Amino acid sequence: MHSIIHLLLILGPNSSLPTLYYTHDPMCSWCWAFKPAWEKVRIAIDDKVNYRYLLGGLAPDNNLPMGLETQNYVQTNWEKIQKTVPGIEFNFDFWRLCEPKRSTYAACRAVICARKQQPRVEAFYIEAIQHGYYLEAKNPSNDHVLIDIAEKLGLGTKQFAEDLNSAEVQNILNREIALSQSLGMTSFPSLKLLSGGVLSTIEIDYNNPDFIIAQIIT
């Protein structure tokens, strides 16, 4: 673990501020559920704590349609989230209008592509994937959906399309997945705070962002 913390210190922002690592997957439904709380956390820690997104990679590349058993599992999970986190919405038309695929790696690579072009666009791109998937019944497992989001955010679509399935971007994703796993961040969303050379787990409460903030800003 000491070697991992040393690596984080080297790779992290050039700042004396603590760094909060947020491991996620843009197609993780619990990450969508966490969005309102996370927005309040980000506002509260602004100028006090740096934060960095890490992609955890929920499901590897697979072009096969999602099996009915898995579809039922995911839909049941959406229903559970709606009962657990008030105000979170899902458009269940997705299951009627789209051909679901299990893979989330394309969406993860797309986030990296957006970050490569404009680092400040990363958070907006993640939110655009979630909004398209969960509210507009669009399938972010498909490249054309991801490229369309890039265009709407003003990114260069030619470069984006070239990067999307490149070995370079896949290698970046592999490294982020490996780093997340080495930090013990194997469920999404997960938060870890690196402060004063000490790495600590931040417990998540989807309905109480103040509980999260109190762990970060002491």
Q: What is the pLDDT of residues 164-178, one digit of tens each?
A: 999 999 999 999 999
Q: How confident is the model at residue 123 (pLDDT cuts 50, 70, 90)?
A: very high
Share of the chain above pLDDT 70, in %: 93
pLDDT of 10: 44
* Region 109-122 average pLDDT: 98
Q: Model-level pTM?
A: 0.93
Q: How confident is the model at residue 4 (pLDDT cuts 50, 70, 90)?
A: low
pLDDT at 15 over 70: no
Summarize pLDDT for 43-80 with one digit per residue, the tens. Answer: 999 999 999 999 999 999 998 899 999 999 999 999 99
Q: How confident is the model at residue 7 (pLDDT cuts 50, 70, 90)?
A: low
Q: Looking at beta carbons, which pairs linking 84-89 to residues 24 or more positions away fall under 8 Å?
A: 84/33, 84/206, 85/33, 85/36, 85/206, 85/207, 86/207, 87/36, 88/32, 88/33, 88/36, 89/134, 89/135
Class of domain 49-186: alpha beta
pLDDT of 151: 98
Q: Element (H or E) spanning 180, and its range?
A: helix 167-182
pLDDT of 14: 55
